[in-house]
Structure 1
Amino acid sequence: MVNSPRDGLNAIGQYHEVGGWGRAVALPFRAAFIGFVTLMSGTTASGTPLPRSIDPAGFGKPTFEETWQKLDAGTDQVRPSVPHRWRTVLGHGSATSVFNRKGSDASQYVDKDFPGVENGKLGSTPLGLDPFELTPGSHVTIKGMPAPADLKPKLFGASYVGGVLTTRFSFSQLFGYFEISARLPTGKGIWPAWWLMPISGQWPQNGELDILEGLGASNEIYCSVHSSALPGKQLSQKVTLPFDVSSGWHRYGVAWSADEIVWYVDRQEVHRVATPADMKQVPMYLLLNVAVGGSWGGYPDASTRFPARFDIQRVTVWKLPG
């Protein structure tokens, strides 16, 4: 998830034939490629090409599974001896750095314990801004909201707040199938994301894998990869879906192997690229967030409804077979 504009989209109508492991399914979608053509080579560890229709039922026990019986989350600015399952900061710089919680150029990530930063120092009491809402055993919601005017000085002047959950200190994996079941927020200026980052390296070294990013449209997502090994440092695709992303639960996943990366919606392929050379050795951790505003997707207007709600029903990771 990068905070930069993406221009020059060229929409291409496609009717995508989906097959592979399991029954064949036809999935209509529209795609816009940014930068480079899609490459189709790649295999699993056993030498089998990644499927066009994926069924993780045969992958064995998940290596990570979150069903939100509780929300085990905390700031964890540095790695504790027993980390929370979910971390609520990005961890870039110190606890008083604007980049520690920067969601976009218009928003900061907060949590219920965040005291704000003023004059380079942390505040003494929490600001009372909680972007996380738990429905135990059902789902967690990450919310994007306008920042209260009186608190903006303690939020680096940000006009909006959102939330981020990462497994930076609790879970990472090299290769596999990574999936959420979710309902996405829509509205101008709303920026939900489900992505992976490497546990080491200076960005974009060792890559960034954006499984989905939404820019507020009711039926569009972006699937992207960033890497120091790519000309232009990124490949991205806009996918137009045959449903409203906010109206029901849908699965958004990616299969990542040493040879290729395949994105799936409801377990049907929507995009495929060759794995960049620097994304074959370093495990990646999970991130879920809602940011608000930014030069890429634009800023909220009078039509934007708040709070924006990113509902996540399940997060599951498997190792690929073979």
Structure 2
Amino acid sequence: MIGELTPRILLVIGYVAVTAPALAAHDDLEAASAALTLQVTTDPTTTACRRVEDQPPTSLAFRSLHRTFSDDFDEHPLAGGRWVPHYAGGAAWPEARYWGGDGSDFKRKTSANGEQQIYVDPRYGGRMNTPLGLDPFRVHNGVLSIVASRTPPDLKPALFDNEYISGILTTQGKFSQKYGYFEIRAKMPLGRGVWPAFWMLADDGGWPPEVDVVEGRGERPGDVVMTTHWRIPSTQRIQSCGFDFNLPGAESEFHNYGVLWEEDRLIYFIDRKPVSDIRVPIGYDDPMYMIVNLAMGSKFFLGVGFVDASSPESVAFEIDRISVYQIDANPTGVMTDVR
């Protein structure tokens, strides 16, 4: 999900149909295992990303990992101290500014994208100085729903006239990791203006790098997107490379969407099958933190569009779990540092 500094042109290349039988997933809940083995690509890649879902077995190897973070959402996501419900500010950003008053929306939406929601939580007061008690997070039977709904007319002035209220969760300042496997198990909601995303940014606050593990195009059923973003130092231009995958039933069935970040490559997975990879671009030097959100409306992300009368009154991004794994020691006993 592109940040405020994203250029107007996003190169998302290719539209590839992934066959449903190969990526079928049961519509049930799965706990995160303590250990995980992934089949990964091994042959060299170039900077340009590529599809790899049809790689021969001889070009694949197994990578073992151990769990470092997991949330199965058996309780409210703000109860355990793992997540915060807004983008973080700088050292000069007073803590009180997160919770209410003029300008407090600065870290609760990305206006340059054309988003039409504001991210709320029970403590947030908008233009008011007292909490409005709005909660976009629901937990039921181990599933977190981030709910976007039309802003109540009487609250629009207090909520900076945004068309929708919705939710965001980030681990900035709570958890970050360099290298490893980052995964969400979720359903992708549909509707005009609907834009669910699970993505990662550098813990040092710089941008890019950005890894969009998965995004949904709300107007296109079964269309999920996985994209890598980086900056060319000599020109300062932003480059982006990724693919769309057609996954029938993504809105009604839980699927696993993940990325394995190794020293030399990023490998994207659907239901733990590699579907694309790219040599790690320049600038991927710092640990990254996770973001999961449901935006409404977009200027630039095709297949989302601006909200209108046909947009849903309420829509939910359902998430079974979010998990992170670190790569195990290689046969020489050397293990990648976690910071």
TM class, shorter-chain normalised?
0.7 to 0.9
Q: Residue 236 in 1 paired to residue 241 in 2? A: yes
Q: Residue 115 in 1 paired to residue 125 in 2? A: yes
Runs of 4+ off more than 6 Å: 7-10, 51-56
Task: Give the corresponding residue for 1:212.
Answer: 214
| From 57, 65, 69, the counterpart of 1:59 | 65
Query: Structure 2: which 5+ residue stretches go unaligned?
Result: 23-36, 42-46, 53-57, 98-102, 331-339
Answer whether contact 2:199 2:212 (CA < 8 A) is retained: yes
C-alpha displacement of 1:135 = 1.4
C-alpha displacement of 1:148 = 1.5
- Aligned 1:170-209 pairs, distance under 5 A: 170-204=174-208, 207-209=209-211
Aligned to 1:85, what secondary structure does the other structure show? coil
1:97-143: CA deviation from partner (whole Å, max 9, x where unpaired):
432101553111101121112xxxxx23222321100115x111101
Aligned to 2:319, what secondary structure does the other structure show? strand
Task: Give the corresponding residue for 1:139.
Answer: 143
CA distance in 2, matches of 1:309, 1:236: 28
Task: Give the corresponding residue for 2:227.
Answer: 224
C-alpha displacement of 1:302 = 3.5
Task: Report the TM-score when normalising by structure 1.
Answer: 0.77
| From 144, 155, 161, the counterpart of 2:159 | 155
Task: Give the corresponding residue for 1:318.
Answer: 325
Answer whether contact 1:178 1:317 (CA < 8 A) is retained: yes
User: How many pairs were matched up?
Assistant: 281
Aligned to 2:327, what secondary structure does the other structure show? coil
C-alpha displacement of 1:185 = 0.9
Aligned to 1:102, what secondary structure does the other structure show? coil
Aligned to 1:194, what secondary structure does the other structure show? strand
| From 125, 133, 143, the counterpart of 2:130 | 125
1:44-90: CA deviation from partner (whole Å, max 9, x where unpaired):
xxxxxxx987977x423x1001111212417xxxxxxxx82110011
C-alpha displacement of 1:23 = 11
CA distance in 1, matches of 2:125, 2:59: 47
CA distance in 2, matches of 1:68, 1:214: 21
CA distance in 1, matches of 2:204, 2:40: 38
Q: Residue 255 in 1 paired to residue 260 in 2? A: yes
Aligned to 1:115, what secondary structure does the other structure show? coil
Q: AA paired with 1:211? A: V
CA distance in 2, matches of 1:305, 1:55: 43
Q: Summarize the Cα distance change of 1:286–1:23 in structure 2 as closer, same or farther, 3 Å threshold.
A: closer
Answer whether contact 1:179 1:315 (CA < 8 A) is retained: yes
- Provide the identity percentage: 31
Aligned to 2:157, what secondary structure does the other structure show? helix
C-alpha displacement of 1:257 = 1.2
| From 280, 286, 291, the counterpart of 1:287 | 291
Task: Report the TM-score when normalising by structure 2.
Answer: 0.73
1:261-311: CA deviation from partner (whole Å, max 9, x where unpaired):
1111111122211111110x2101111000101212311234332311111
C-alpha displacement of 1:7 = 6.2
1:227-254: CA deviation from partner (whole Å, max 9, x where unpaired):
2237741323232323121111100000
- Identify the range of structure 1 (125-134 vs 166-175) with the bigger mean alpha-carbon deviation: 125-134
Q: AA paired with 1:214? A: G
Q: Residue 102 in 1 paired to residue 109 in 2? A: yes
Answer whether contact 1:39 1:274 (CA < 8 A) is retained: no
Aligned to 1:63, what secondary structure does the other structure show? strand
CA distance in 2, matches of 1:285, 1:97: 22
C-alpha displacement of 1:221 = 1.5
Answer whether contact 1:71 1:134 (CA < 8 A) is retained: yes
